Structure 1
Amino acid sequence: MTAGSTPTPKAPWIVGRTPLLMHAADDYLNELTRQTPWLKARREDLLEAFDASLGEPAPLLAYTPAAGEAWTRSLPEAEQAEAAKLLADFRAYLEDWGWLEANR
C-alpha cells in the first residue's frame, strides 16, 4: 500500500440494505472464534446487549465511540472493563476490515 492510499475494504457488501451492527458483529465473532473460540459466547452476549441498547436492530453507524462509552458506563462496574475491551477490539476490527468506510 502506498502512502496516502486507503486499504481495500474487506467487509462484505450488503446489497440494498442498511448495514446493521449485528451484520458486523456476526462477521467479527466468526473471525474471533476462528482464532479464540472460547470467547464467542460472552462476547456475543455483550454485543447483543449493546445492539439492544442502541435500539435493536441498530444500524452500524449508530455505533459511535460516545454510544459505546455510554453503554459501558451503564453496566455494573464489574463488567465495565470487559465491555470496554470488547468494544475497543470490535472498533479496531471494523476499521481494519473496512466496515466503517464501506458503509458511510
Structure 2
Amino acid sequence: MISPGKAPWIVGRPILLEHAAADFLNEVTRQTPWRRARFEALLESLDEFLGAPAPLLAYTQLTGEAWLHSLPAADLLTEFRAYLRDWGWLEAARPVNQPD
C-alpha cells in the first residue's frame, strides 16, 4: 500500500526545490545535527546550479548527475581513483590471496 504524501500543501505557486530541501534538512538532520551545515550548503549549490529559485521539477536524475559532475570533488575523486589504480595502491591494499 502506498502511503499518502507528506509534502506540505503549497497554494497558488510552484513548489520550489528550496521547499523540499528545507523539509529534508529538518527531517534528516534531526538525529544528526552536525550534518546540517554541510547538507544545507550542498543543497543551496544544487539550487543555484538549477537556476535559483529552481522549481522542484527542475531536479531530475540527469540534472542531479550533471550537478555532481560540476562539483570540484568529482574531478578530484576521478583523478584520485586513477592515481590509486595507476600507481598500484589498490593492488597493494588487496590481500594476497584475494582474486580481482
- TM-score, normalisation: structure 1: 0.68
The offset of 1:7, in angstroms, is: 2.1
Q: Which amino acid aligns with 1:39?
A: R
Question: Contact 1:72–1:80 at 8 Å: present in 2 too?
Answer: no
1:8 to 4, 11, 28: 4
Deviations 1:23-67 (A, max 9, x none): 000000001121110000000000000000000000000000000
Where structure 1 has 5 or more consecutive residues not aligned to the other structure, the ranges are: 82-104
Matched, 1:63 2:63: no
Matched, 1:72 2:68: yes
The offset of 1:80, in angstroms, is: 7.9
Where structure 2 has 5 or more consecutive residues not aligned to the other structure, the ranges are: 78-100
Matches within 5 A, 1:8-87: 8-77=4-73
Structure 1's consecutive aligned runs of 4 or more residues displaced over 2 angstroms after TM superposition are 77-81
More helix by share: 1
Question: Contact 2:47–2:53 at 8 Å: present in 1 too?
Answer: yes
Structure number with bigger Rg: 2
- TM-score, normalisation: structure 2: 0.71
